[in-house]
Amino acid sequence: MDTFERLESEVRSYCRCFPVIFDTAQGCYLTDTDGNRYLDFFSGAGALNYGHNNEQMKARLLEYILRDGITHGLDMATVAKKRFLDKFNDVILKPRNLPYKVQFPGPTGTNAVESALKLARNITGRHNVLSFTNAFHGMTLGSLSVSGNFMKREAAGLVLTHSIRMPYCKYLGKDAETIEYIDRFLRDNGSGVDLPAAIIVETIQAEGGVNVASVEWLQDLEQICRQHELLLILDDIQAGCGRTGPFFSFEKAGIYPDMVCLAKSISGYGLPMALTLIKPELDQWKPGEHNGTFRGNNHAFITATEALNYWETDELSSETQRKGEKIVRSLHRLRKQHPESIREIRGRGLMQAIQFTEEDMAQTASQEAFRRGLLIETSGASGSVLKLLPPLTVSDEELDEGLQIIWEATAEILSRKVSLAAH
């Protein structure tokens, strides 16, 4: 690890939690330079929904490289891009009756968010964007302004403006109204809250602590947008691409957001790629108003097209729900064993979380799990949430193995705690 300490910036973080050098990976497993295998319940922070080095995608990618398929295409028309667009339309958009136009905004999630924010401001002529407590939308200045995490906001080195912060679903308590609250501010000519261009929202705040918005809340939020003529931007970067079951996380709510941001697992293979989906009537971009050198990452288009095969049937979606419920059952049992240390189990599909009662517990559990061969991360500003994010292609055996380690790690850290308290 000396190379990293000497040469890489202090900003690096995950390599400090998982201090080994990874070499190869396949499916749900990573292997380090010493040959140790690690079960992956982290999945590249949601970028590896189909596992590592998925065989079908790999085959297509190798073929493409071997035949000198164009690699870097800016926003020029290529065969690989055309195939992706057609198939994305046929397999995802058309069947869901979501006639979005597709923008390739640069291959990272924050690019997708930045272009959605720009377009919303341009169309409405308004400058502020309403965002939520504990939101996470990215690290470039525009996305950071609508994100909630204090440590990351402070790192901007300047005051983040043009964002109106409102409480997310259940932020003020399980039964506390938040939609009416927002509506009150927007209706009142004296509230001092200027009408925003848009509302940007995640259906599940993955980085913010796995906070799950209810279906009704999302529907009410869409209503608010319609009543006040705000655009609704849905950031489905981590919760989309099947993570919660359906391809889009908002399908269950039956809403039709004005824009949708996708990234992470859209390429399927972990290659950089992002999309901004835009209602056709809102596609008011002028040519070249937003660009970026790597928005035509054709390797990613190849694997992304292959990944869409998973969505030609309902199988992946229903399996994700089934496995998600399996996790929930297991974690609820775990909670019953440690009622004083586990406050809540929450999530949807294959994004599930354990909310511990104390700040350091999730972090300690993650370390303990890693020692036992499981990669798993925490979430939320206080670090008390352990987030389960296995590949959607995880087998039942792998799931059981991972849950077993989580049980053991939890037992270990809580017993340690008890023994500490006993002294």
**Where in 328-357 is the site for a copy of itself (CB under 8 A)?**
none
In Å, what is the CA distance from 367 to each residue of 39, 152, 307, 371, 374? 14, 23, 32, 6, 9
Window 178-207: residues binding a copy of itself (CB under 8 A): 181, 184-185, 188-194, 197
Place of tokens 């590896």: 48
Window 296-325: residues binding a copy of itself (CB under 8 A): 297, 299
**How many residues contact a copy of itself, by CB under 8 A?**
149
Contact, 79 vs 304, CB < 8 A?
no
Residue 89 sits at φ, ψ, to 5 deg, of: -65, -45
Query: CA nearest 5: which of 192, 14, 16, 55?
Result: 16
Q: Which is nearer to a copy of itself, 106 or 349 (CB)?
A: 106
Q: Which is nearer to a copy of itself, 42 or 253 (CB)?
A: 42
List 28, 41, 52, 406, residue binding a copy of itself (CB under 8 A): 52
CB of 371 to a copy of itself, least distance (A): 16
Contact, 16 vs 5, CB < 8 A?
no
**Applying CB under 8 A, which part among 224-232, 350-358, 380-388, 406-414 lies near a copy of itself?**
380-388
Q: Which is nearer to a copy of itself, 214 or 293 (CB)?
A: 293
Check binding of 283 to a copy of itself (CB under 8 A).
Answer: yes
Site string for a copy of itself, 84-123 (x = CB under 8 A): -xx-xx-----------xxxx-xxxxxx--xx-xxxxxxx
Residue 354 sits at φ, ψ, to 5 deg, of: -105, 120
**Applying CB under 8 A, which part among 2-10, 315-323, 338-346, 348-356 lies near a copy of itself?**
2-10
Name residues whose C-beta falls within 8 Å of residue 217's C-beta, 6 or more positions apart in sequence.
Answer: 169, 178, 179
**Applying CB under 8 A, which part among 137-145, 215-223, 250-258, 409-417 lies near a copy of itself?**
137-145
Q: Which is nearer to a copy of itself, 300 or 334 (CB)?
A: 300
Per DSSP, helices labelled H in 277-314 are: 298-307
Q: CA torsion, points 76, 79, 84, 90, in degrees to nearest 10?
A: 120
Structural Rg of the chain based on CA atoms = 22
